[in-house]
């Protein structure tokens, strides 16, 4: 078995920064598991199934990765999947403090699992799912920030609202 990584996130919705990290992770690890968090404590625009579909549509042609959903602790999923590493994206210094605490907690819970922090390409550093939803909710285009299928789904969601 090669090196396996879990890339967890809400992906509500998946954006080009996420896709950049998936593609770059696939160059480092033999297998990448994109793990969509259910997290009922946070309000989501898209269901887990919709988020998984959007990731699947946006990653057509990529190999050596799977998309799964989960609830609970990421470190438990890592153990179930027999992964070696957790991939986390950091866009700015403000992301680092939270991610650093999570990495240390995960290390305390399972000291054989490493966390790798990756920065997205600089053209994606300002992108977040929260900002994309906010911009799309006002009917503004998010072209170039999300795959075209995600942009269409966002427009459909906000037309229904």
Task: Give whole-number Cα distances, 158 to 58, 76, 128, 141, 143, in Å.
Answer: 21, 35, 18, 12, 16
Cβ atoms of 45 and 124 closer than 8 Å: no
Q: DSSP for 108-139, please give it.
A: HH-TT-EEEEEPPPGGGTT--HHHHHHHHHTT
Strands 4-9 and 65-70, how do they pair?
Answer: unpaired
Q: Which residues pair with 32 in a beta bridge?
A: 5, 65
Residue linked to tokens 């898209």: 46
CA-based end-to-end distance of the chain:
47
Q: Catalytic residue numbers?
A: 18, 42, 91, 129
């Amino acid at each position: 078995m090669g090196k396996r990584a879990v890339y967890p996130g809400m992906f509500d919705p998946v954006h080009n920064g996420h896709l950049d990290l998936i593609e770059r992770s696939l160059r480092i690890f033999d297998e990448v598991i994109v793990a969509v968090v259910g997290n009922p404590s946070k309000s989501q625009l898209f269901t887990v199934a919709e988020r998984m579909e959007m990731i699947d549509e946006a990653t057509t042609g990529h190999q050596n990765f799977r998309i799964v959903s989960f609830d609970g602790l990421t470190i438990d999923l890592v153990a179930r999947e027999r992964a070696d590493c957790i991939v986390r994206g950091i866009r700015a210094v403000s992301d680092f403090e939270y991610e650093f605490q999570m990495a240390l907690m995960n290390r305390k819970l399972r000291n054989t699992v490493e966390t790798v922090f990756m920065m997205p390409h600089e053209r994606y550093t300002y992108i977040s799912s929260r900002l994309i939803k906010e911009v799309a909710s006002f009917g503004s285009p998010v072209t170039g920030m999300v795959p075209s299928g995600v942009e269409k789904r966002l427009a459909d969601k906000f037309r229904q609202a």
